[in-house]
Amino acid sequence: ALKREGLEHLAAHDLRRSFATMGEEADVSDGVIKQIMGHKPKSGDTTEAHYKVRTISRLRDKHMEIERWILEQSGIGQPEFAETKSYFMHDIN
Protein backbone atom coordinates (compact mmCIF):
# COMPACT_ATOMS: atom_id res chain seq x y z
CA ALA A 1 0.00 0.00 0.00
CA LEU A 2 2.84 2.40 0.83
CA LYS A 3 4.53 1.73 -2.51
CA ARG A 4 1.26 2.17 -4.41
CA GLU A 5 0.78 5.59 -2.78
CA GLY A 6 4.38 6.66 -3.37
CA LEU A 7 5.27 6.47 0.30
CA GLU A 8 7.75 3.60 0.20
CA HIS A 9 10.19 5.70 2.24
CA LEU A 10 7.90 5.23 5.25
CA ALA A 11 7.84 2.16 7.46
CA ALA A 12 4.81 0.89 9.36
CA HIS A 13 6.59 1.86 12.58
CA ASP A 14 6.79 5.47 11.34
CA LEU A 15 3.02 5.49 11.03
CA ARG A 16 2.62 4.07 14.54
CA ARG A 17 4.95 6.75 15.92
CA SER A 18 2.96 9.45 14.12
CA PHE A 19 -0.32 8.04 15.47
CA ALA A 20 1.03 8.17 19.03
CA THR A 21 2.21 11.75 18.57
CA MET A 22 -1.07 12.90 17.03
CA GLY A 23 -3.05 11.14 19.76
CA GLU A 24 -1.10 13.09 22.34
CA GLU A 25 -1.73 16.33 20.43
CA ALA A 26 -5.45 15.47 20.46
CA ASP A 27 -5.25 15.34 24.29
CA VAL A 28 -5.95 11.62 24.54
CA SER A 29 -4.27 10.02 27.55
CA ASP A 30 -1.05 8.13 27.05
CA GLY A 31 -2.50 4.92 28.51
CA VAL A 32 -5.41 4.98 26.06
CA ILE A 33 -3.09 5.61 23.10
CA LYS A 34 -0.83 2.74 24.14
CA GLN A 35 -3.79 0.39 24.58
CA ILE A 36 -5.21 1.29 21.16
CA MET A 37 -1.77 0.54 19.71
CA GLY A 38 -1.75 -2.88 21.39
CA HIS A 39 0.85 -2.19 24.06
CA LYS A 40 0.60 -3.97 27.36
CA PRO A 41 1.20 -2.03 30.60
CA LYS A 42 4.84 -1.85 31.64
CA SER A 43 5.96 -4.24 34.32
CA GLY A 44 5.37 -2.59 37.67
CA ASP A 45 2.65 -0.22 36.42
CA THR A 46 -0.03 -1.54 38.75
CA THR A 47 -2.52 1.23 38.01
CA GLU A 48 -2.60 0.59 34.26
CA ALA A 49 -2.40 -3.19 34.60
CA HIS A 50 -5.01 -3.75 37.30
CA TYR A 51 -7.15 -0.71 38.02
CA LYS A 52 -7.91 0.95 34.70
CA VAL A 53 -10.41 -1.05 32.69
CA ARG A 54 -11.16 0.42 29.29
CA THR A 55 -13.98 -1.08 27.28
CA ILE A 56 -13.78 -1.55 23.54
CA SER A 57 -16.44 1.14 23.08
CA ARG A 58 -14.40 3.61 25.18
CA LEU A 59 -11.27 2.88 23.13
CA ARG A 60 -13.29 3.22 19.91
CA ASP A 61 -14.62 6.61 21.03
CA LYS A 62 -11.08 7.81 21.78
CA HIS A 63 -9.79 6.44 18.47
CA MET A 64 -12.53 8.40 16.67
CA GLU A 65 -11.54 11.48 18.69
CA ILE A 66 -7.95 11.15 17.41
CA GLU A 67 -9.22 10.62 13.85
CA ARG A 68 -11.38 13.77 14.07
CA TRP A 69 -8.38 15.77 15.30
CA ILE A 70 -6.16 14.49 12.46
CA LEU A 71 -8.79 15.30 9.84
CA GLU A 72 -9.41 18.73 11.35
CA GLN A 73 -5.69 19.55 11.30
CA SER A 74 -5.36 18.44 7.69
CA GLY A 75 -8.43 20.39 6.53
CA ILE A 76 -10.29 17.24 5.48
CA GLY A 77 -14.04 17.11 6.09
CA GLN A 78 -15.34 14.95 8.88
CA PRO A 79 -16.90 11.61 7.89
CA GLU A 80 -20.43 10.78 8.90
CA PHE A 81 -20.09 8.00 11.45
CA ALA A 82 -22.85 5.44 11.67
CA GLU A 83 -24.02 4.56 15.13
CA THR A 84 -21.32 1.96 15.73
CA LYS A 85 -22.35 0.98 19.23
CA SER A 86 -25.27 -1.01 17.84
CA TYR A 87 -22.81 -3.39 16.16
CA PHE A 88 -21.52 -4.64 19.49
CA MET A 89 -23.64 -6.94 21.62
CA HIS A 90 -21.44 -6.20 24.63
CA ASP A 91 -18.09 -4.67 25.43
CA ILE A 92 -15.02 -6.81 25.71
CA ASN A 93 -12.55 -5.80 28.40
Q: Residue 17 — pLDDT band, cuts 50, 70, 90?
A: very high
Sort 23 into a burial class: Cβ within 10 Å, 0-12 / 13-18 / 19+. buried
Question: The pTM is what?
Answer: 0.65
With 0-12 / 13-18 / 19 or more C-beta atoms within 10 angstroms meaning exposed / middle / buried, residue 59 is middle
pLDDT at residue 3 in the model: 87
Q: Which pLDDT tens digit goes with each residue over 36-88?
A: 998 877 766 666 666 677 888 888 999 999 999 999 998 988 777 655 544 44
